[in-house]
Amino acid sequence: MADGEGAKFARRDVLKQIATVAGTAQLAPAAVATAATAAAIGAAQAEPAIAPTSAAPTSVPAPLAGYQSLSLDEAAFVEALVNIMCPADHLTPNGVDCGLAVFMDRQLAGGFGQGERLYMHGPWKKGKPQFGYQLPLTPEQFFKVGLAAANAACRKQLGKSFDALAPAQAEAFLTQLAGGKVVDERVPLGAWFNELVYPLFEQACYADPIYGGNNGKVFWRMIGYPGLPATHQRDIVTYRGKPYPGANDPKSIADFS
């Protein structure tokens, strides 16, 4: 995949990112507590009766720099993908800045990507979709094989790598992928997108930020998920049918670590 193909949307330059870490980093809320005091803090948080808003922060901390699994070319695809699936808008920064690419990379490099908890004995054969994943590849391998096949199909169809497409073209290509319309002779690209890439995307948005995505709890803030410590014995009564103030300022695992 050539770099000089005139990307229409920002592909994050690794060096640039490293240079801006210090400038853009916004410190996480200083809610530091031990597990033992978590309940007390939870109760205290519930006190101020502030109506939740769906306002997103204008800036989030810089995502983690550097990839453990993805090559720069693979990263270009993934970054383009997450920026299409999560464009910068009034709700969140773009997917890369939300940490979505880093999340996927870390998952692929970690236990999940390496096939943890996955039954990996043959024989291998093609089954009905309802029987689930049946390839002799770890999720990381499948991710990369699918990425290469999707990119090849993209070049064949549109004459450009996926990361060089204009946003509208990229969007249309993803829609085709999701609909099983992009076909590769050997790689089941519909299942690749819908059963591997898409779940990783949703997880990247909504998992606890300790995994690298949902940077600055931006997605939790967006929907009003209050996160931890979730000691709601009184809240279930007090806020039944009413806005929950804690939804304004979600707390994550790092805030209690």
Partner 1 sequence: MATKLNKRSVVIVGGGLTAALLARQLTAKGTDVLVLERGADRRDAAAAKLPSQRDELRWDIRGGLGQDWSVETYTIRHNPKDESFPTRRLAAFLPGDGLGGAASHWNGFAWRWSEYDPTLRTRLETRYGKQAIPADMPIEDWGITYAEMEPYHHLFEKLYGLSGKAGNIKGALVPGGNPFEAPRRDDYPQPPLEPTEAGLIFKAACEKLGYKPFIAPSGNSSGTYTNPDGMRLGACQYCGHCEKFLCEAQAKATPETLLYPVLFTRPSFELRQRAHVLGIDYDKQAKRATGVRYLDLLTGEEFEQPADVVVLAAFTMTNTRLLLLDGIGAPYDPASGAGVVGKNFCYQTNSAVNVFKKDWWINPFLASGGTGITIDEFNNDNFDHTGLGFLGGAGISANLTNGRPIGNRRMPPGTPRWGTKWKEASAEWYAHSFSMQAQGSSYPHHDNYLDLDPVYRDAFGLPLARMTFDWRENDMKMSEYCTKKIAEIAKATDATIVGPAAPRKSPFDTRFYQSTHVTGGTPMGADPKNSVVSQHLQHWDAQNLFVVGASVYPHNAGYNPTALLGALALRLGDDLTSYVERPRML
Minimum CB separation of residue 84 from partner 1 in Å reads 7
Residue 133 binds partner 1 (CB under 8 A): yes
Q: Residue 58: which of 25, 91, 16 has the closest Cα?
A: 91
Stretch that binds partner 1, among 16-24, 65-73, 130-138, 150-158 (CB under 8 A): 130-138
226: preceding bond cis by omega (within 30 degrees):
no
Between CA 228 and CA 71, with CA 206 as vertex, the angle to 5 degrees is 130
For partner 1, the binding residues in 134-163 under the rule CB under 8 A are 134
Q: Using the minimum distance from each CB to partner 1, give the nearer residue, 3 or 225.
A: 225
Residue 237 binds partner 1 (CB under 8 A): yes
Q: Total residues at the site for partner 1 (CB under 8 A)?
A: 74
Residue 41 binds partner 1 (CB under 8 A): no
Residue 181 binds partner 1 (CB under 8 A): no
Residue 51, SS3? Answer: coil
The tokens of 170 are what?
A: 């990229």
Nearest-Å Rg of the Cα atoms of the chain is 20
Residue 99 binds partner 1 (CB under 8 A): no
Residue 222 binds partner 1 (CB under 8 A): yes
* Of 132, 156, 185, 186, the one binding partner 1 by CB under 8 A: 132
* Of 10, 91, 109, 166, the one binding partner 1 by CB under 8 A: 91
Minimum CB separation of residue 140 from partner 1 in Å reads 14
Between CA 249 and CA 257, with CA 252 as vertex, the angle to 5 degrees is 125
For partner 1, the binding residues in 188-207 under the rule CB under 8 A are 195, 198-199, 201-203, 205-207
Minimum CB separation of residue 158 from partner 1 in Å reads 19
Is the backbone of residue 51 left (phi > 0), alpha (psi -120 to 50) or beta? beta
Rounded-to-integer distance, Cα 221 and Cα 213, Å: 13
Rounded-to-integer distance, Cα 199 and Cα 193, Å: 9
